[in-house]
A and B are shown apart, each in its own frame.
Chain A
């Protein structure tokens, strides 16, 4: 398995050119106040120095730690090399002969001559703790460490059978495999009717689709069956994670009674809902999680029908009102966030009921291209259609990925076919609903802050 690496990301829309990253770099790397020595260089476009600078006018020159580094290939002295562990292009000062050929190889101005030393200099990411990133006051620079997850997960055992039968582009396989890898082999898994068993968790030809015990409860009794299984294991003294991977239909509609009951009783269960906003496995019928205006096979578009006429139930907020040990929403567009929540949910499930609600765009039922799943998931968050937060009884509710400048919800709606028919009034309704939902969740979050 290949190695993934951490990286420094730059968002030009947020950079106001303050130069604090360069000051930090020059100071840390050269003990100098001369920002021309900084290994990260912010470049203002237009070159004009008259008007005050505005965000969006700045770009950067910085070593990209290329996977296919040209500076390495043109080095005659073997002084540059890709570090397989850190991903950094390492420069060996003792081998370098100062020929500057690397500066010819690099088309990104990522390795350049430092006039003071007469030698080339390049970013080494400060051994994984880049000084420029915390110095950035606007959030334009971020250190993306998601790679850690993939590298770690890669070494954990995959507990699903190879080759699950999901629709092309579905992110649920990603979700299932990551979640089960994280939760580990000492798990009993419940997968009620829906896409997850449809993809093969319950198996084929008399064998299960998982390497852990899996059962297929009814839609109605998932949480209660799982609670019984968990209690029996506790009675015999075995430490086992009782986990459900259920769809939104099975959780919010017909399975809600047993879910609510288990949460109320504080059963020690990790309940993960994969919310694709409908009964997608059985032919895309509407559920109580289907949003207003969406096409489904039971909310058709025709002479009278204009999609679903009711708003979606906010199931995770309902779970907050059960005062569960842990409640969180997550998205596969934000894996680092998802993993942190998975860790917390797993720990919380040893004390009480842990509920994780993961938004899962459905390529087939929502009608978008199979390559765009993560993009659609990201737009849902960026438009505040979906908000990412977590709740514990002690700390209350906190946003984990607040969005400063949300996209208009129309940008999200346009990304898929199930909203194609919407009238401007319907779009306005949805935008208002997004605002109302946000106000509602925000109010709870503010109460947490007042504590």
Chain B
């Protein structure tokens, strides 16, 4: 049986940061990475750009083989985790082999949710989570005349824009009342909607797909109001969730993801989890939340790696903060923090229809920033995140901050943590 000091399951941002963190403190302990994906490490976030052609499959890799050689990492791709025995410190792989470990990191990410629509198993559809998905979607996109994107999250919207630009007639179907809900507020979502409509996309928000039938070209969708939409390319992008079948019988506690404490430790001895599969404390809620975003994955991976290597410099997790950027038809949208107005707090909004600039900032009752959202309104997102995480009192500066978030944010940065 192969044994290793550190076993890392997964190969994207959380796993890579954990490797860095471990090697910062432990130069010699053996590291083995097992990953379901057949490729070298890449980011799911880059995939829409592979679909658009902005990037290419051979240029997306985040590490080359030299990295693994230099860091003495045994990298095994196409090698999925199948089962765990935390008591015995053993992991079972899909090929039937077993690996013994001293410490284990579960950074297995998430997979697309396939909604239980009657007939879905009989039609051909796309998802976008792996490099192979992206390659397949890009190939199909060239021939598509009539595409449907199911789900108006950032992945779906990004793909829809690519399809529009590739010349297809595109319909976006979304269950909730607005596009990009959970990422952007009503006004920002309205701007996104206008941009898509202006570029010829059709938008069907507030509708569920109740049936799918195969057709000569592809499939026909049936909506809850009886409308039917024919399509030759169906992209299912209703969200992601971790696939945790490998935990069956392991006793490791899960809810929507793998439950972890502020050092990313799971309920089992010597097992940590980070990234999109982990459910860690939310900054605002204090309760475990799914915050499947790239910056959080790197942060969690770093913490997990430091904890695994017993690095005394470890600082516990401050809690997950929603952070998103989104680029649509030449416009930039950035969201940092929570859109919800806390009790006793307030939201401040300004919108200039002529320039298309929109800014919304949310403050709590103590004049501390809890969220900031902009379309074509530029501020340093990393600085804003720090202001929120540091619970900075903006009291006397609030008006100026709202008028000039870029300059005022930088000024605060200079005074508080330079």
Residues of A in contact with B (beta carbons under 8 Å apart)? 41, 43-47, 59-61, 70, 73-74, 76-78, 95, 97-101, 103-109, 112-113, 115, 118
Residue of A nearest to B46 (CB): A76
Residue of B nearest to A46 (CB): B411
Contact B294 A101 (CB under 8 A): yes
Give 17 new A-B contacts, CB below 8 A, not counting A59-B410, A106-B380.
A43-B407, A46-B411, A47-B411, A73-B16, A73-B298, A76-B62, A76-B294, A77-B60, A99-B327, A100-B327, A101-B295, A105-B295, A107-B382, A108-B383, A109-B380, A109-B409, A109-B413
Specify which of A70, A101, A107 is in contact with B383 (CB 8 Å cutoff).
Answer: A107
B404–chain A nearest beta-carbon distance, Å:
7
With A76-B45, A77-B46, A115-B378 as contacts: A104 and B385 at CB distance below 8 Å: yes
Contact B382 A70 (CB under 8 A): yes
Q: Mark B392-409, 1 if CB is under 8 A from A, else 0.
A: 000001001000100111
Residues of B within 8 A of A74 (CB): 13, 294-295, 298
B50–chain A nearest beta-carbon distance, Å:
9
Is B165's beta carbon under 8 Å from chain A?
no
Offer 11 A-B interface pairs, CB within 8 angstroms, sorted by A. A41-B410, A44-B411, A45-B414, A47-B397, A59-B415, A76-B44, A76-B62, A97-B49, A105-B382, A107-B413, A108-B418
Contact B295 A104 (CB under 8 A): yes
Is B334's beta carbon under 8 Å from chain A?
yes
CA distance A41 to B406 in the complex (A): 11
Interface size range on B against A: 35 or more
Q: Mark B2-26, 1 if CB is under 8 A from A, else 0.
A: 0000000000010011001000000
Contact B54 A97 (CB under 8 A): yes
Contact B60 A78 (CB under 8 A): yes
Specify which of A46, A97, A99, A109 is in contact with B410 (CB 8 Å cutoff).
Answer: A109
Specify which of B16, B59, B302 is in contact with A95 (CB 8 Å cutoff).
Answer: B59
Interface of chain B: mostly helix, strand, loop or mixed: helix
CA distance A73 to B45 in the complex (A): 13
Residues of B within 8 A of A41 (CB): 410
Residue of A nearest to B417 (CB): A107
Nearest 9 CB-CB pairings of A with B: A59-B414, A76-B43, A76-B45, A97-B49, A109-B380, A100-B325, A104-B381, A76-B46, A106-B382
Residues of A within 8 A of B408 (CB): 47
Contact A77 B49 (CB under 8 A): yes
With A95-B55, A100-B381 as contacts: A73 and B43 at CB distance below 8 Å: no
Q: Mark B328-347, 1 if CB is under 8 A from A, else 0.
A: 00101010100000000000
Contact B383 A59 (CB under 8 A): no
Contact B382 A103 (CB under 8 A): yes
B107–chain A nearest beta-carbon distance, Å:
14
Specify which of A60, A103, A108 is in contact with B381 (CB 8 Å cutoff).
Answer: A103
Residues of B within 8 A of A113 (CB): 332, 378
Contact A103 B55 (CB under 8 A): no
Contact B325 A99 (CB under 8 A): yes
Specify which of A44, A47, A70, A112 is in contact with B378 (CB 8 Å cutoff).
Answer: A112
